[in-house]
Structure 1
């Protein structure tokens, strides 16, 4: 991690990735039982040691290509500044109703405090109320924090701090806000959706639903984690910038099953003119609307229905050829592979993407389109040089990580792209 400040800049989903923020999954993932897994937004509990090995492949590939910032390192540095530590702790203790622990937390070393804010704080049972709560934690572990995409998004030079759909993830946003607001690491603007919404409960937005298609085009999913009210509020924020023209393409998503949690579970960009799509939702006729919102000189001038995302992009001069998640042959394969994040790709450069190895029909489909399939270990060891490849898919072992409900795009928060 370099010592000079990085200027935030993301104008596409596929420009060469220059800097990214990650959170390596730790004990917080294991501090979960089947009883509380659902509240933690998991459908199953994970084997941490295997999840960490798989995550190490993602981190290893990214370290070959980009500057990697780790959330815990940044948080520890922020907590060393007394004013920053005070304001972050006040926000957390008040919001999570643990004011009794404030003085104790304030006195901890920065590394101990970082650990507790991520891995959880066991409750000290001192009252009957505490005893009857049947809670082990005063501060819940941040089970989902390795999905760094959800809590913030870089749009151009702005960091959008997201307002999470579930209270169990609120602290993740507070931590991200503290990191960006500290002024220690990054140059760029900050839009905090908690502040912008004045904590309006109908406003919720998560980064997996926001795709930067082009400098002037955003794709946003509206479903279980991102509300129409939040999209309207984000558009208001974009209107302040008074740029000549901007476009927002909104795709409605099913509320269930949970594999449609975000738009990037059904649609991601692979190259300048190629996208991975889950066909039943993105291409087939279905009840979920695609809407094109046009902004000019700081005002919404038009809201119109579209057939689908590729048609809306084509109208804006972006031709994308869809590659079918799960392959073309079998609806069952499409459904199974979409469930395991088969449409969730991270581009590290145009035509160079990361995916899970388990989705074999999806990979076969990509191979037919000229993408070379390579193992992450071959990239990390240097046996495969990505620079010399024209188009490739780097595959991660994915038996445990997908069970958390996300893929390579979910686990990465790009800060800067070429």
Structure 2
């Protein structure tokens, strides 16, 4: 058992990780709801679960304690009063305001034991499950053909995004899209009320009530002094600045580096194109090296944020910031641009480092995996025919809670 949040690197031995095993929410995807729910395809749930179970098994085989979203939120709401509070917060963030519908959904959820209640919130609530017999407002009466009153959360198996454990604190993120906002609410309950997950001493660097979007795939803990943030399709400049200010003013971290990456679906988050895999090695998608701009945020003598642009090449910036003679950028797909594009689409750069030089990757990205092995890395592969349909790799599917210090 590793109580509390402690995470000062991307590569220290991973002790504890938060996952979500895909469930019924994937069965709610249809061609009509794919765009709304941020998927490009419909995964086959049975195989996706088998692949995810293998991912968890590889983690356990390497000494990692695996915890799951549903279990940890259920622990946080063991008190019936807490269950009522969560249901109210859940209905508010879901924008359920019609009195009859709200009462019906409240009854449905509170009649369930905690674990089942959390599972139902994730799976989605259908209109037919909460049909109101006597409407109390026009909103109760007006119907449409959309089957859900509360959308499923099919993206939750990418546990990296709703939050990020940084140092001895956590970000509870304001997600960029409505489809994912409720995921952060469940994490907030875990943080506030589950003392196995977070201790009283752990701090919050960002709250889902903050004004700007930021997502965990854009947050990388490079060292005990430096955190990197991607400015991406889903993390705003203001979100990165708010996080940097809260972190630097309330912790021992010294600097936040902002990486400005192209805003495209393929380059959704920083970790889809750039991850740290050893003390001096990084995976990178070759197409971001040219257009990448890097900025730094530090505190001045008055404790206020100071900003600067860094003009050097990425490998020189990383070597300088990490106090290394040089760093090795391992390009996804090798020198073959077509292989790089194909494997990056299936998250070839999205490696999860579980100890220095030991990484978990999708087995389908064989060009990049072979390259990683040639650079001296210990590559552990997992199957991903169905998991990869959600556009996220092993790093996306994991929220490290506790790592050894380097």
Aligned to 1:226, the other structure's residue is in SS state coil
Change (3 A) 1:348 1:397: same
The corresponding residue for 1:301 is 306
1:403 pairs with one of 389, 396, 402: 389
Runs of 4+ in 1 over 6 A off after TM superposition: none
> Are the counterparts in 1 of residues 76 and 194 from structure 2 also a CA contact under 8 Å?
no
The corresponding residue for 1:105 is 109
**Superposed displacement of residue 51, structure 1:** 1.0
Q: How does 1:13-412 map to 2 (within 5 A)?
A: 13-64=10-61, 65-98=63-96, 99-100=102-103, 101-123=105-127, 124-126=130-132, 129=139, 132-185=143-196, 186-187=198-199, 188-195=202-209, 197=210, 200=211, 203-241=212-250, 243=252, 246-256=254-264, 258-282=265-289, 285-286=290-291, 288-296=292-300, 298-316=303-321, 317-318=323-324, 319-328=326-335, 330-371=336-377, 392-412=378-398
The corresponding residue for 1:389 is none
Change (3 A) 1:360 1:117: same
Determine the C-alpha separation between the residues in 1 that align with 2:401 and 2:340.
31
Aligned to 1:260, the other structure's residue is in SS state coil
Query: 5+ unaligned residues in a row in structure 1: which ranges?
Result: 372-391
For structure 1, which segment, 12-21 or 395-404, has the greater mean C-alpha deviation from structure 2 after superposition?
395-404
Aligned to 1:249, the other structure's residue is in SS state strand
Determine the C-alpha separation between the residues in 1 that align with 2:338 and 2:3.
44
Aligned length: 384
**Superposed displacement of residue 296, structure 1:** 4.7
Aligned to 2:121, the other structure's residue is in SS state helix
Aligned to 2:376, the other structure's residue is in SS state coil
Aligned to 1:315, the other structure's residue is in SS state helix
> Are the counterparts in 2 of residues 239 and 299 from structure 1 also a CA contact under 8 Å?
no
> Are the counterparts in 1 of residues 77 and 193 from structure 2 also a CA contact under 8 Å?
no
**Superposed displacement of residue 242, structure 1:** 6.1
Aligned to 2:32, the other structure's residue is in SS state helix
Report the RMSD for the aligned CA atoms in angstroms. Answer: 1.8
> Are the counterparts in 2 of residues 326 and 362 from structure 1 also a CA contact under 8 Å?
yes
Determine the C-alpha separation between the residues in 2 that align with 1:77 and 1:301.
41
For structure 1, which segment, 265-274 or 123-132, has the greater mean C-alpha deviation from structure 2 after superposition?
123-132
Aligned to 1:236, the other structure's residue is in SS state helix
Task: Render the CA deviation track for 1:76-115: whole Å, top value 9, x for unaligned.
Answer: 2222212321221111112213333224322322233122
Determine the C-alpha separation between the residues in 2 that align with 1:190 and 1:47.
36
Could you state the TM-score of these two structures normalised by the residue count of structure 2?
Answer: 0.90
Change (3 A) 1:83 1:312: farther
> Are the counterparts in 2 of residues 125 and 131 from structure 1 also a CA contact under 8 Å?
no
Change (3 A) 1:217 1:192: closer
Determine the C-alpha separation between the residues in 1 that align with 2:295 and 2:144.
45
Determine the C-alpha separation between the residues in 2 that align with 1:51 and 1:222.
30
